[in-house]
Structure 1
Amino acid sequence: MQKLYIIVFILKLTSFLKAQICQAGYYGTVECLKCPNNMMSNPSQNNSVDQCYNCPDGYYFNGINCLKCKAGTYSLNGQCITCQDGTSSEDGSSFCYDCRPGQYSQKGEKCQDCPVGYYSPNIKSSTCIKCHPQKASNQGSWMCNYCQPGEYAKNGECLICPSGTYSRFGSIYCARCEIGQGSNPGSSTCIDCPPGTFSQQGQCVNCYAGSTTTEYNQIACIKCPEGQYSVPGGQCKFCEPGTYLISSFGKILCIPCKKGLTSYQGSQCFACPSGSQLINNKCLCGKNQYMAGEYPNFICQDCQQGFFSEVGSTSQDQCQSSQTTMASVSFNSSVILKLISLYIIYLLFGF
């Protein structure tokens, strides 16, 4: 009996040693069978088909392990499936997401922004649509727009009009300004170059110091007359009275005259003519005098009898008749009063 037990033990041990250890994805004891539907199994516990199981969503079984599905695919029940056009996914996804408007995708590739000059108006777009020649778009746009004034459409972009040109809303080109006009980059209209400026290559440029323009729409500046000056973009003018014009190191300056002297129209400094007085840097004749001759070469002439003038007058004014009559009446009354006073004293004191 003891020998029988030993024989049975040896047979069972032999059968156990002959049993197969199946690899992952297989099951069985004597014979290893493949798990159904891309299922996997654990080599330490895969004796029966019931011990086979699916990889998690987003993963697939490569025959050894569960691995993540690549971007652009998704998985259900352990198998990776390519995303449809207009959709995409990240690594290890169980679903695909839709590309937003302004993007596109093909065969599960990553959603890309539509390039400049193209657009996609809907979700799940597989391609982008080219803008109309009069319209443009930025990268990743879901619609195209007309270009604004001062811009123009070219190859789907809105570009800035250069100086000397302009454009209206929705333009595909920039129009040139007319002669004597100018504009800055991105202008919707041209302007007439104002006095003090001139038109140069489509821009209104300030005239250089010592030159100017006196009208609109000029294409060149003229030099200031002798004795006059100008600042850039300004009009020609004389130095203020009491100063005179000099040119030093390329600069034009108005220098103050010495004390007691003045000037006229940027000329050299001079002393006032005899009989006149210097008031606020101008030579003026006194009261009841008038200026005879052109300034500054004049003389102070006294007013004639019956005429008068104020300080700085260039002519004499005739006195009104009432002023002369009143003066005469005032004089006669004074004489009469004096005679009456002498007569009363004579009566009182008997002289």
Structure 2
Amino acid sequence: MVGYLLVSLLISVAPNLTWSCSDNLMFGYRLEDSTVEQISNIGVHSCIKECRLRQPLCQSINYDSEHFLCEINSREADIEVEGIYQTNSIFANVNGSSREALDNCQESFCSPLHKCVTSRTSHVCISTACQPGTYGKDGQCVPCPIGQFNSGGQWCLLCPLGTYEDGTGSSQCKQCPLGMYQDKIGSSQCKQCLPGTYEDGTGSSLCKQCPPGAYQDETGSSQCKQCPPGTFQPHHAQTSADSCLPCNAGKFQPNWGKHACWSCHPGSYQPDVGQTSCLPCPSGQYQSHWSQTQCIDCSRFTECVNHNRTSCRALRKRDRDFGYSPREHQGQLDQWDCRRRCRERADCRAFAKARGSGAGDCWIFNHRNHYYHGDFDFYEFPFECHP
């Protein structure tokens, strides 16, 4: 037999089965703005019992007969004057009753496929014989509505957040797929993630915002699009590729999906926007600051650039002759070639070239202590300027 199978125990124990609740139920009415608590998945009479347990806090109840939702109200009302009309809603003022008048059904937890009923003298769990995906109503097992499920209890339950059910008679709800979410209970479908958001997991109640360095210009996405190298994006939840901004001159970004560009370090520069790298300062130039768009000249004979091109150092000219301390003769060279020979030798600390504009004897030294002798221009060479 489809429907409730009322066990014989119920008949023998409660031949005159009746609810103890004598409150006047007003169908189709609801009291707004007075609810202090909600209780899910109970019947209307159990809702009234819960109200009595909470007196004097509870003075009336709203009951949603479609979703089996009980609302505890903090005041009574002339519902025909103060209430609003709502299909499937039941209102009742709950007064003049004490806790002692309650039966024991609110303390009973029946096993799956059973429900609690109350007689004048006792309470009992009876079989509903309804299978998962259905529930008992008016003596029949009927399918759970769209947006609800029943895995084997007394009532159909609303699909929780992150799930949906688009068919009737379901024993469980479906999880929202990638790129979708559901932030309401009892839903029949999921919502697509909006532009600027994404969802990379299933069963989600909220989409994630695209992080800085990324954007999403489509709906229903499971991931965000990354800004390309040479650009950056500093904000959350961006919806357009135009939000990826080119790196300023003096900066660069070699990677995808970054929220900021990097500054060109000292010894380098970048004159253009939207670049993925910086340029080293050319030979004879240096840069001592970050984020620069050009380098500074350091090409005079009496100057040299240090090995990482971050500073310009002076060659200290000594107004004296050189002596016979350890040295190497480099042949007949002009002053630039003589300086170059010293620069290329890591142990060279000074060089001397015979005075005159043309080629002449070139000597290099591995320390700076010298004796006076001869007719030469003598320069100390900073060790930082060696390659």
| Normalised TM-score (structure 1) | 0.42
| Normalised TM-score (structure 2) | 0.39
Largest Rg, 1 or 2: 1
